[in-house]
Amino acid sequence: MQDENAKELIKQGDYLYGKMGSLLSLWQEIALNFYPERADFTVTRTVGSEFSDHLTTSYPLMARRDLGNSFSSMLRKDNWFEVGVKREPDGEGKAWLDWATGVQRRAMYDRIAQFKRATKEGDHDFAAFGQCGLTVEMNSRRDGLLYRCWHLRDLAWCENPDGMIDTVHLKWKPTARMLMELFPGNCSPEVQKKAEKSPYSEVNCRRIVIPSEHYESYGDKVKRPNTPFMSIYIDVENAHTMQEMPLRLNPFVIPRWQTVSGSQYAYSPATVAALPDARLIQAMTLSLLDAGEKASDPPMLAVGDAIRGDVDLRAGGITWVDAEYDERMGDVLRPLTVDKSGLPAGMDMSERVHAMIMEAFYLNKLSLPISAGDMTATEVSQRVQEYIRQALPLFEPMEEEYNAALCENTFQLLMHNGAFGSTDTIPQSLRGQDIEFKFVSPLRAAVDREKGTRMGEALNLTSAAIGLDPTAIANVDVNRMLRDSLEGIGVPARWIRDEQATEQEQEKIQAQQQAAQLAALAGELQKPTPAGLGAQAEANASTEGVGGAFQ
């Protein structure tokens, strides 16, 4: 019964893999030009193969390398994420979120979790092919997280009606010994024999994650699990199901850079734009190398009958010439004239192609704009806005599709496995709210820093309006504007009091100001008055009182 189920799932996976034939050819071509370490989509590599022996220049490889490295250095630097919620929580809720952020960060960066290794591999797949395949789950000992990056060649997936990836097939080749350790008592007899005789031999397997409503057992019907997903491990060689496990979360995280309608697979706008230039720069470099070699070591013209033996062009070499040769007919051995005028033009063309590849990989858009000292606030704001427009296509998919998906899956996995303690300890202000991660990146920093510039402009306008109408200050919430601007320019959070503490401090300052005013007024009333002025003041008061009464 399970074998029939396994055969059906294998058949479905074969169909998905069959539709990837032309896509694998495209990925192979991209890898050969930009990522030769991954160029085994349609060929089988042996250990020790030279990756880039077919290339004449490494510039396209370095462009992909720099873009892939920039993802982690710019988007996952230091404390790059915070656990948050959509609605503003109270002080207790903020404290719990800060604590949960620390718990998740420690779990992700634990050495056994292999987060850095998996994301480093995923970053370069994302830069070259526009997508990567990651899994987030508990390790085999159930004492920590485990992140893995899988070869795109081994993955096939499809979307649900909402455009979300919900079905994933993964080709997997573990050793027989590994299968016996992972699935004790559930391996096929053939694998058991293989584990005894050749434990390190590989077994073709598949892992399949599908929605529970799509999974049915053949023969006797089984009760559908009360979870969204099912994970099935199948020994493909023996059509044997080794494990069926219900899952609350889909362990696969497949961020996609840019998609096209009608396909569940994405592409990298960087390599799509740079692939023609990468082919061109390889051909140009070969031509320039050949031309440069001829210019520095030109071919020689020799008079055949006058040369005795072979021509020796080595340093210090001797070439024997017939003594009867007439030198008036020209040198017996002379270089051919080589036209070198095309070399400068070729070098200029090569530099232009380099610039095109750099622009295709967004390498000229990664640096924040530099503001000169004589620039006005408006000019600085315009340059920041231009940087945001140029960097948005690069950073937005990474934050939303990649980092957010990884962090959300990690948080839910930790929550289900009790890493945050009992749910009863969650503050009331957080219950029922959706988790929303906040990220630190150059793009978000530029957007936040823009608030400081806006504050200066707002204060200038407000000052001008107050000159016409003193009540205009009521239109501006100065405290809120200041808090947002301080956060925007990167002031550490611990330097800023929370809103409740700020209100208490403001009330304290107001009370002190009022006390100081009352003390000053009391001091004025208690000042001694000269005798003559006092008598005159009393007479005036008496006169004013009588006059007032009469009137």
Helix/strand/coil (H/E/C) assignment for every residue in 137-174: EECCCCCCEEEEEECHHHEEEEECCCCCEEEEEEEECC
| d(C-alpha 470, C-alpha 124), whole Å | 58
| d(C-alpha 88, C-alpha 65), whole Å | 40
Q: For residue 37, give the DSSP letter.
A: G
- The pLDDT assigned to 418 comes to 92
Determine contact, residues 274/353, Cβ cutoff 8 Å: no
- The pLDDT assigned to 372 comes to 58
In 3-state terms, what secondary structure has residue 111?
Answer: helix
| d(C-alpha 540, C-alpha 548), whole Å | 12
What per-residue string of b and e applies to 422-442 under the rule 16 or more CB within 10 Å gives b?
eeeebeebbeeeebebebbbb
User: Distances in Å between the alpha carbon of 72 and those of 37, 265, 444?
Assistant: 19, 23, 15
**Identity at 304, one-letter amino acid code:** G
- The pLDDT assigned to 221 comes to 46
- The pLDDT assigned to 543 comes to 45
Closest CA to 74 of 362, 273, 271, 359: 362
| d(C-alpha 218, C-alpha 240), whole Å | 14
H runs (alpha helix) in 57-154: 59-75, 91-108, 115-129
Placement of tokens 């040198």 in the chain:
331
Find all residues with CB under 8 Å of 81, minimum gap 6, and list them.
Answer: 101, 105, 403, 407, 437, 438, 439, 440
Q: Where are the domains of the chain?
A: 2-48+133-254, 55-104+268-298+343-440
What per-residue string of b and e applies to 484-495 under the rule 16 or more CB within 10 Å gives b?
bbbebeeeeeee
- In the numeric block, which tokens belong to residue 544? 């004013």
Cα Rg, the chain, nearest whole Å: 37
Determine contact, residues 313/282, Cβ cutoff 8 Å: no
Q: Which residues pair with 438 in a beta bridge?
A: 82
H runs (alpha helix) in 184-268: 189-197
- The pLDDT assigned to 489 comes to 62
Type and span of the H or E element at 438: strand 435-439
In 3-state terms, what secondary structure has residue 326?
Answer: coil
- The pLDDT assigned to 303 comes to 67
Question: pLDDT tens, position by position, for the chain (551 residues)?
Answer: 457 889 999 999 999 999 998 999 999 999 999 999 999 999 998 888 889 889 999 999 999 999 999 999 888 988 899 999 988 888 788 889 999 999 999 999 999 999 999 999 999 999 999 999 999 999 988 899 999 999 999 999 999 999 999 999 999 999 999 999 999 999 999 999 999 999 999 999 999 999 998 886 544 445 566 889 999 999 999 999 999 999 999 999 999 999 999 899 999 999 999 999 999 999 999 888 888 877 777 776 666 667 666 666 666 666 767 666 767 777 776 676 667 777 888 889 999 999 999 999 998 887 766 665 666 666 666 776 777 677 777 788 888 899 999 999 999 999 999 999 988 889 988 988 888 898 877 666 666 666 666 777 777 787 888 888 888 777 877 777 777 776 666 566 566 776 777 777 778 888 888 888 888 877 777 766 555 545 554 545 444 444 443 33
Closest CA to 80 of 452, 451, 437: 437
- In whole angstroms, what separates CA 54 from the centre of its chain? 30
What per-residue string of b and e applies to 329-346 under the rule 16 or more CB within 10 Å gives b?
eeebeeeeeeeeeeeeee
In 3-state terms, what secondary structure has residue 83?
Answer: strand
**Identity at 209, one-letter amino acid code:** V
- The pLDDT assigned to 374 comes to 66
